[in-house]
């Protein structure tokens, strides 16, 4: 198991990262000015309760990215135990257990004095959202953007997911990315099959292998690092297109083929 980590972001948002289930990451987020605390998704109640006990924080919000059980399965139990408020995607409110506040693209969610803008990022599911705390240079991307990967297209299509990638690529390069799973090592191995001569990718894959061998997390990543190494942010790459045999093809078609190959990997 990865060691628990608490990140203090430039005196602002506090982030306590911990593992849940088999490979989920879960995050307690706290505004130190007010003590207001939320949890990003609820994969496992016991793991969240342990993290709350270790930090001494009290839960005020559940902040859901999407409806899948390994992200919202603990909503009702935690709400019953803590009286917390559940925030989740407006586009999928009927599938978010116990939802109190529905948010959509462009909305602002306030965690005490910290502010997150909501981005609609359908593709993995029809109602997936991401939360960008711009002042803290932090984003929680659920199963839309992984380190060197993206979510499977269970309910969306390649155009939707590529549109989502483009939105996230507009965030500043130093934005720290906290995603929903520790998939990085497998994602890196796949990425090398479609961009084998990408020097930044080769170096990053080696670093990921070192971190995992030491039992360390590969999260957070950054938008700048993803733009340099994540094939799902790189369908315009001439190297990637050449590897796929899709030189000068439509960018969405290149993205779609990359996703298909990852699904078979």
What is the widest separation between alpha-carbon atoms in the chain?
55
The rounded distance, in Å, linking the Cα atoms of 149 and 33 is 34
Contact assessment for residue 218 and residue 182, using Cβ atoms and an 8 Å cutoff = yes
Model confidence over 97-147: pLDDT tens digits? 999 999 999 999 999 999 999 999 999 999 999 999 999 999 999 999 999
Active site residue 263: no
- Domain range holding 108? 5-264
Counted domains in the chain: 1
Active site residue 66: yes
| pLDDT at 3 (0 to 100) | 44
Q: How do beta strands 24-30 and 149-150 pair?
A: unpaired
Residue in 41, 70, 92, 136 annotated catalytic: 70
The rounded distance, in Å, linking the Cα atoms of 130 and 16 is 18
For the cut 90, the answer to whether the pLDDT of residue 8 exceeds it is no
For the cut 70, the answer to whether the pLDDT of residue 2 exceeds it is no
Residue in 71, 120, 128, 132 annotated catalytic: 71
Active site residue 16: no
The rounded distance, in Å, linking the Cα atoms of 229 and 227 is 6
* Share above pLDDT 90 across residues of the chain, in percent, rounded to a whole number: 94
User: Can you tell me the mean pLDDT for 34-39?
Assistant: 97
Q: Confidence class of residue 6 from pLDDT cuts 50, 70 and 90?
A: low
Give the strand order in the sheet containing 37-40.
5-8, 14-20, 24-30, 37-40, 61-63, 85-89, 101-103
Active site residue 124: yes
| pLDDT at 7 (0 to 100) | 60
Q: How do beta strands 61-63 and 37-40 pair?
A: parallel
Q: Confidence class of residue 248 from pLDDT cuts 50, 70 and 90?
A: confident
For the cut 90, the answer to whether the pLDDT of residue 10 exceeds it is no
Model confidence over 40-64: pLDDT tens digits? 999 999 999 999 999 999 999 999 9
Residue in 16, 66, 67, 128 annotated catalytic: 66
Give the dihedral sign, CA 49/5/188/164: positive
The enclosing domain of 79 has a CATH number of: 3.60.15.10
Residue in 31, 60, 92, 143 annotated catalytic: 143
Active site residue 68: yes
Residue in 16, 128, 132, 181 annotated catalytic: 181
Active site residue 181: yes
Model confidence over 199-230: pLDDT tens digits? 999 999 999 999 999 999 999 999 999 999 99
Single pTM value for the model: 0.95
| pLDDT at 12 (0 to 100) | 84
* CA 54 vs CA 17, 37, 81, 175, 179: distances in Å: 12, 14, 17, 27, 22
Residue in 16, 60, 67, 124 annotated catalytic: 124
Active site residue 10: no
The rounded distance, in Å, linking the Cα atoms of 243 and 76 is 47
Contact assessment for residue 129 and residue 66, using Cβ atoms and an 8 Å cutoff = yes
């Amino acid at each position: 198991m990865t060691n628990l980590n608490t990140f203090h972001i430039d005196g602002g948002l506090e982030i306590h990262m911990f593992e849940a289930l088999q490979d989920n990451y879960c995050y307690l987020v706290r505004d130190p000015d007010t003590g207001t605390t939320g949890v990003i998704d609820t994969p496992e109640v016991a793991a969240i309760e342990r993290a709350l006990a270790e930090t001494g924080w009290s839960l005020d919000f559940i902040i859901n990215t999407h409806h899948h059980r390994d992200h919202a399965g603990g909503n009702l139990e935690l709400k019953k135990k803590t009286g917390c408020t559940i925030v989740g995607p407006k586009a999928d409110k009927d599938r978010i257990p116990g939802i109190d506040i529905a948010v959509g693209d462009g909305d602002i969610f306030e965690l005490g004095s910290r502010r997150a803008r909501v981005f609609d990022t359908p593709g993995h599911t029809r109602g997936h959202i991401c939360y960008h705390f711009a002042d803290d240079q932090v984003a929680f991307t659920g199963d839309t953007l992984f380190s060197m990967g993206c979510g499977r297209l269970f309910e969306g299509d390649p155009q939707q997911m590529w549109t989502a990638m483009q939105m996230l690529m507009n965030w500043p390069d130093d934005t720290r990315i906290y995603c929903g799973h520790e998939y990085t090592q497998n994602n890196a191995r796949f990425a090398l099959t479609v961009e084998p001569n990408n020097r930044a990718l080769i170096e990053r894959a080696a670093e990921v292998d070192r971190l995992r061998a030491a039992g360390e997390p590969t999260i957070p990543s950054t938008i700048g690092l993803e733009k340099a190494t994540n094939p799902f942010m790189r369908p315009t790459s001439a190297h990637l297109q050449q590897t796929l045999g899709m030189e000068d093809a439509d960018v969405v078609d290149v993205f779609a083929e990359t996703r298909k190959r990852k699904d078979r990997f």
